[in-house]
Structure formats: structure tokens, C-alpha cells
Copies of this chain bind each other. A is one copy, B any other.
């Protein structure tokens, strides 16, 4: 299983936003939508062995977590707008317990800490960070969880919570890349290893 946890620091936590304003009013939700595309799309296929958690921490009611499950996903298209509509549908739900909004898309009030606690103990945990070891030189396991942040760095508190899970710090090249680009580069490396 491949797993991504992405923190959306300002991402809106209600369905009260316009699909024409995914960057501004929705608190850079666009970054998370592109990360969904990078996580799940192959040409003419969806990655089934993939789970993604998007932790939304913006107003009005943080935290909320969207969980996407590749083996169940339907109605996902590559463009930002239609993915934004699926996520907005999820954010319309009011339960705090996890609830399904559409096939493969779940919503809950889980915090970042809660999400980390759902990661199976046997999973390798990797913190994507510019000063980490090059991914091409890192042993990767079949069950692997990558944790990263949106366009803002993790806070000291978020880093500390992650440290409890003994992550390895890994980087993806000589530059700093957008979150969705990071997700894609990881997928390609795992593809090449047959993982």
C-alpha cells in the first residue's frame, strides 16, 4: 500500500466555496486537488493500491480530513474543477465520525495527529523534506507512508508529532518542488521498484 498524508494549512473546512476560487477563498485547496491528481492518475487508469489523507486546517471548523481510497474511487477526473466539486461534496457532510461522501471519498473530523495514528504500525514512514536523503538511495518498503505539507512548511508542532512515528527524511532532487510534484516523483520511483 502506498499512502500519502498532506497537510493543507489554510484549506477551507466547509463546502462554502466557489469552484471559480479554489486558490483564494478555498485557502489554496488547489494545491491539494493537484496532489490528488498526482496520487491517483496513470494514463487511462487509476492507482488502486493507494490511500491519501488530506488534512484541512483552515477556517471555519478545523480540522477535517478527506481520505481517498484508490480501490474504491469513482467519478474522479484529472482536472482541478471537477475534483474540487467532489471535495466540496465531502465537505458538505456534517458528521464528525468518518462518513462516505462518494465512492472512495471519506470525510471526518480527524486531526493530523489522529491521521498519523491510523497509519499501520508496519508501514515505513517518510517525511518529504529538502534536507533528507535522496529517495533514489533509500530502501522503500511495500507499505510506505509519505508525509508532506502544502505550500507552507510544517510547523514545529507538526514536525514533532511526526517524529513520534520515527520517520526517515527523504528528498526528491536538488530543488524544492510543489507538493503535487513531490507526490508524482514518489509514485514514479515506487513504480520503478515494482512496489
Interface residues of A (CB under 8 A from B): 19-20, 22-23, 30-31, 34, 37-38, 41-44, 77-82, 151, 172-178, 181, 184-185, 188, 191-192, 194
**A177 to B38 Cα, complex, angstroms:** 10
Which listed residue, B20, B79, B177, touches A30 by the CB 8 Å rule? B79
A83 to chain B, nearest CB (A): 10
Question: Which B residues touch A43, using CB under 8 A?
Answer: 151, 175-178
Question: Which B residues touch A194, using CB under 8 A?
Answer: 174
A23 touches B176 (CB 8 A): no
A114 to chain B, nearest CB (A): 28
**A44 to B172 Cα, complex, angstroms:** 16
A77 to chain B, nearest CB (A): 7
Given contacts A174-B191, A191-B174, contact A41 B181 (CB under 8 A): yes
**A49 to B188 Cα, complex, angstroms:** 24
Question: Which B residues touch A80, using CB under 8 A?
Answer: 79-81
Additional 6 contacts, C-beta under 8 A, given A23-B82, A184-B184: A19-B20, A30-B78, A41-B181, A43-B178, A80-B80, A185-B188
